[in-house]
Amino acid sequence: MLISWALLLYCSFLGIKLSGYELYDEDRKRLGYCIYGVMILFVLFLLFNFSLGLLPAIFITITLHNQKKGFDTWMKEKEGL
């Protein structure tokens, strides 16, 4: 349970960082869906003690982490040119 909370906090941090980037509409939609997923998991944890929340938390964390990593790589390549 503690791991799920830590993953959701990290997802929130990544969401805040990604919201500061200039994203295309499709990337902004994907980010929005992930943030909605984090909020839904948070409510499920509070109301029902959703014990299977680790798997969705891992999926959302990996999705946001890969998206941020991709944008950071793209920004570095853009600055190098």
Radius of gyration from C-alpha coordinates of the chain: 14
Closest CA to 4 of 46, 48, 55, 44: 55
pTM value is 0.77
79: number of Cβ within 10 Å = 7
pLDDT in tens, 1-57: 677 778 888 988 998 888 888 888 888 898 889 889 888 888 888 777 766 667 888
**Predicted confidence (pLDDT) at residue 81 exceeds the cutoff of 70:** no
